[in-house]
Chain A
Amino acid sequence: MTPVRVAVLVFPGSNNDVDAQLALNRLDGCEASLVWHTETSLQGYDAVVVPGGFSYGDTLRAGAIARFSPVVGALQAFAKNDQGPILGICNGFQILCEAELLPGALAPNAHAHYVCQHQHLTVATQNCLFTNGYQPEYTVDFPIGHGSGCYVVDDATLATLKAEDRIAFTYFGENPNGSVANIAGVLSKNRRILGLMPHPERNARPGFGTGDGRELLESFVHAARERAHG
């Protein structure tokens, strides 16, 4: 079986890049590689993960400088040509919003505290390549760790996200950061880009937590394989 090649982007200050790579490389037929922020092309990759961390030390705003890096230019081309699915986790979600690959933005948490905890989420839609392996209204446990996770979007765009069923995950129980409509993760218009603040890769190994994140990563790799190899 030809392996699915996943690029895990690395910026100065990324700190969940290796976690994501390890979680992906535990899956059958997946070959995840770290790709430095100075790279100008993502040719040869079937999917991309933009991992968590504090790219460029969150200078200006979380994700604001990464947006201008060469590899994000390559990522925008990758998305435009629909070369494969894209998953942005935590700082990766912030970067995808700053790069206008996803709508909205991530503001500092409303309570002004950094949150680091297990977080239950509702799978708000199964109608996408990332979540089609979960049961309807399934609740997953993906850990969170962020200071700027308050999802902000204008009213018109929020209405569009709801009408187009593009809210992938919502926080279950208490909203940990003040996000509008309890939103934890959103999809692009073509449903092939997902950004979410929680970390599926930190709970992707059965026996080490519930392993809830593995289903998302498997679906992501499966979609990349279908797109690349038919």
Chain B
Amino acid sequence: MQRFRACVQVALKKKVFDGQAHLIETLVQKQAQASAESLRVTRNYEWEFEASDAQEAEAQVQSIGSRILSNPQLEDFTATFEPVEASQ
């Protein structure tokens, strides 16, 4: 078995209005006097896990991302993973 580190990022679908993101954009514009557009609020999940190879690792991360961490009717997610060195 190999050890991997997964990272899954979940955000509302772009077609779903994100009121929280809109408020934060406004806050940045007013308080930092800076432009802020297309701001997205995301949730980040990171964890380590074991799989026999990279293919199984990807299948696991995709399954967890779509079945548990996100609701496909409401949210999109991106998933990445990388091997964890034995010395870490």
Chain A: number of interface residues, binned into ranges: 10 to 19
> A-B contact count, CB below 8 Å?
37
- A66-110 Cβ-contact flags toward B at 8 Å (1 or 0): 001000000000000000000000000000011000001101111
- B52-77 Cβ-contact flags toward A at 8 Å (1 or 0): 00000000000000001101011100
A64 touches B19 (CB 8 A): no
Chain B: number of interface residues, binned into ranges: 10 to 19
Chain A interface, >50% SS class: loop
A112 touches B19 (CB 8 A): yes
A153 touches B73 (CB 8 A): yes
B16 touches A107 (CB 8 A): yes
Q: Which residues of B contact A154 (CB under 8 A)?
A: 73
B74 touches A105 (CB 8 A): yes
A107 touches B12 (CB 8 A): yes
Q: Which residues of A contact B69 (CB under 8 A)?
A: 60
Q: Which residues of B contact A110 (CB under 8 A)?
A: 17, 19
A152 touches B19 (CB 8 A): no
In order of increasing CB-CB distance, the 7 nearest A-B pairs are: A112-B19, A105-B74, A105-B73, A112-B20, A110-B19, A110-B17, A105-B71
B residues with CB within 8 A of A: 12, 16-20, 22-23, 68-69, 71, 73-75
